[in-house]
Amino acid sequence: MAHAHLDDVKQYLLDLQDRLCQALADEDGEAGFREDAWDRPEGGGGRSRVIENGAVFEKGGVNFSHVHGETLPPSATAARPELAGRSFHAVGVSWVMHPHNPHVPTSHGNVRFFIAEKAGEAPVWWFGGGYDLTPFYPVEEDVIHWHRVARNACLPFGEDVYARYKAWCDEYFYLKHRNETRGVGGLFFDDLNEWDFSECFAFQRAVGDSFLDAYLPIVKRRRHDDYGQHERAFQAYRRGRYVEFNLVWDRGTLFGLQSGGRTESILMSMPPVAEWHYGWTPEPGSREEVLYRDYLRPRDWLNDAERSAP
């Protein structure tokens, strides 16, 4: 049964990778994704797809991987020590898009599935994933649209699901050493096995399938906005926060490195250009200050919008 589940999820994820790459390349209009298939000596492999120097996307990637081994790495058992020592299969798709234009947000997402096995015991399985948005010059209508799509994806699974996974995203994508969120959030879930397999798998598909509906309308609205060197410099500075989060806090990065994954694919999420400046603060009254003041903290975007509507 476990491997039947694994095959079903794997086929969905391979198809999702294809659909994401096609839609994102179509939106870019100039560059396409190149594929790099790889094998993992300890078991498994994947196919990494990267787009660079396009009309919209300076760098992006959509990666599929299926890795397996005799022992789960520490990052996978930190919250569930009872699984230590089990063999495992981990299959997932992850993506990160870094646009040229600072008015187009960076975005990240992933969906994944684990099975941990031990002789004589039933397999333990769970799903995880989500997506989040990292704007540099945010527009409130874009953020509201993003969260509305996320909420609609969650609604068939319960009235409270969006609120729970939105709050988990705010908590997870938080840079404790900076006392700020990475962006404006979205959805994050992990260790999902509270429903039966079919419903958990349906929820993963709802999240994966809704990403393009959440992201592409924002790209279309902002890709032609004017910008100059000032905005590009701020984008590079804020991309530094992206690097800090991925290297210091991200569980997926740790899992990939600890499981002997392919380093080039794991670090595909890094932006092409990032900067750090000592003691930098935004100018009072600037658009950069608006980001820090109004957006880099958890907010109830949808309820706030409904309360302020005429």
Per residue in 218-233, pLDDT tens? 999 999 999 999 999 9
What is the average per-residue pLDDT within 197-208? 97
- Is 103 annotated in some ligand binding site? no
Per residue in 204-220, pLDDT tens? 999 999 999 999 999 99
- What is the reported pLDDT for 123? 84
- Is 110 annotated in some ligand binding site? yes
Q: Which residues are catalytic?
A: 108
309 has pLDDT over 70: no
pTM score? 0.92
First-last CA distance in the chain:
53
- What is the reported pLDDT for 122? 80
- Is 9 annotated in some ligand binding site? no
Measured at the alpha carbon of residue 192, what is the angle toward residues 190 and 194, in degrees to the nearest 5?
A: 150
CATH of the domain at 291: 3.40.1500.10
Total domain count for the chain? Answer: 1
Per residue in 2-27, pLDDT tens? 567 899 999 999 999 999 999 999 99
Parent domain of 102: 2-308
1 has pLDDT over 60: no
What is the average per-residue pLDDT within 138-155? 98
DSSP state of 203: H
- Is 111 annotated in some ligand binding site? yes
- What is the reported pLDDT for 267? 86
Band (pLDDT 50/70/90 cuts) for residue 78 is low
Which spans in the chain are helix H?
2-28, 74-77, 140-154, 161-172, 197-222, 229-248, 251-258, 263-266, 287-290, 301-308
The tokens describing 260, both together, are 């002997």
- Is 98 annotated in some ligand binding site? yes
Per residue in 266-307, pLDDT tens? 888 899 999 999 999 999 999 999 999 999 999 999 987 766
Q: What span, in angstroms and rounded, lies between the C-alpha atoms of 111 and 163?
A: 19
